[in-house]
Amino acid sequence: MAHEPMFDPDDPLLARLREIALALPEAAEKVSHGRPAFHTVKVFVYFGGSIKVDGSWEQHPQSVLLYADLLGQTQLRSRPDSFIPGYLGGSGWTGLDLGPATDYNEIADLIEESYRLTAPKRLLRALDD
What range does the domain containing 59 cover?
Answer: 12-124
| pTM for this model (two decimals) | 0.94
Domain for residue 2, yes or no?
A: no
- pLDDT at 21 (0 to 100): 98
Domain for residue 5, yes or no?
A: no
CB proximity list for 25: less than 8 A, separation 6 or greater: 40, 119, 123, 126, 127
Strand-pair category, 56-67 with 28-32: unpaired
- pLDDT at 1 (0 to 100): 61
Walk along the chain (129 residues) in steps of 10 and give the mean pLDDT of each run. 85 96 98 96 97 91 97 96 94 96 96 98 95
Domain for residue 41, yes or no?
A: yes
Count structural domains, the chain: 1
Q: Domain of 40: which CATH number?
A: 3.90.1150.30
Domain for residue 129, yes or no?
A: no
